[in-house]
Amino acid sequence: MPQVLIYEAGLTENFIIKLMAKNEISKTYSAGDIDIVWKPGKCIHAGICVKTFPQVYKPHNKPWITPEGMNTEALINQIDSCPSGALSYIHKDTKENTKAMEHSKVAGKSPLIVDIESGKGYAWCACGRSSKQPWCDGSHAGTGITPTVFKAIENKKAAICMCKRTGNGPYCDGSHAGL
């Protein structure tokens, strides 16, 4: 919808974002320890995925993502480089945490940009109760929610989820837009 029409109709940008988030289509592809999630409405067709792994991303085939036999770490690195955020992933062990995360506290309504150091281990607070946000301090005890533990494989700035509703913990996937 052209921006002019949005404003002429009296719709705010936040309303449009919330509407798009509710109606967003996504497709999930199993890839070993992770599920790859593709949101076609977010895709800007930069082609980085196809150029990086043409054996996985085949835009003219159905299904177009065939990750069988690929190294999980390599896939994660490629997915993290998606400029639009149309590609994301969910660790399969994190899926069990999803229902409990619906009961987590919102620690912030926007992501926190942090420096992640290669080789360092992190425990992302998924419950929202930690006083050391975005990292876990053990406050989740008794909630049924557990932190997402990960080891960084490269130095980078990362947008860490603070709303605790992401499907790609610890990284922000834009879920805060629907709060």
Task: Judge if 85 and 101 occupy the same domain.
Answer: no
Given this model, what pLDDT does residue 132 score?
A: 95
CA-to-CA distance for 30 and 20, rounded, in angstroms?
25
- Looking at the predicted structure, is the pLDDT value of residue 86 above 90? no
Domain that holds residue 35: 1-92
State the chain's mean pLDDT as an integer: 80
Q: Side chain identity at 14, as an amino acid letter?
A: N
Task: Judge if 177 and 128 occupy the same domain.
Answer: yes
Task: Judge if 103 and 178 occupy the same domain.
Answer: yes
Task: Judge if 80 and 104 occupy the same domain.
Answer: no
Stretch 149-174: mean pLDDT, rounded?
A: 86
- Looking at the predicted structure, is the pLDDT value of residue 2 above 50? no
Task: Judge if 68 and 123 occupy the same domain.
Answer: no
- Looking at the predicted structure, is the pLDDT value of residue 143 above 60? yes
Task: Judge if 1 and 74 occupy the same domain.
Answer: yes
Give percent of the chain above pLDDT 90.
25
Task: Judge if 6 and 70 occupy the same domain.
Answer: yes
Instruction: Please identify, among 32, 57, 92, the residue that sits at the C-terminal boundary of a domain.
Output: 92
The pTM score is 0.49
Query: pLDDT higher for 158 or 11?
Result: 158
Instruction: Please identify, among 36, 57, 92, the residue that sits at the C-terminal boundary of a domain.
Output: 92
Structure confidence at residue 178 as a pLDDT band (50, 70, 90): confident
Stretch 106-132: mean pLDDT, rounded?
A: 91
Q: Side chain identity at 135, as an amino acid letter?
A: W
Task: Judge if 85 and 105 occupy the same domain.
Answer: no
CA-to-CA distance for 97 and 52, rounded, in angstroms?
31
* Residues 116, 86, 164, 103, CA torsion sign: negative
Tell me: the pLDDT tens digits for 38-82?
Answer: 888 778 888 999 999 999 999 999 999 999 888 888 888 888 788
Looking at 53-175, list the stretches that DSSP marks H as alpha helix, in order from N- to C-terminal side: 72-80, 92-95, 98-101
Neighbouring CB atoms inside 10 A of 90's CB total: 18
Stretch 26-48: mean pLDDT, rounded?
A: 84
Which residue, chain included where needed, has tokens 């949101």?
39
Number of domains in the chain: 2
Instruction: Please identify, among 60, 92, 124, the residue that sits at the C-terminal boundary of a domain.
Output: 92
CA-to-CA distance for 21 and 19, rounded, in angstroms?
5
Task: Judge if 27 and 75 occupy the same domain.
Answer: yes
Task: Judge if 103 and 138 occupy the same domain.
Answer: yes
Tell me: the pLDDT tens digits for 91-103?
Answer: 776 555 554 556 7
Distances in Å between the Cα of 85 and the Cα atoms of 82, 128, 140, 168, 171 are: 6, 23, 29, 11, 11
Task: Judge if 121 and 57 occupy the same domain.
Answer: no
Task: Judge if 113 and 43 occupy the same domain.
Answer: no
CATH number at residue 44: 3.30.70
Which residue, chain included where needed, has tokens 């994190």?
94
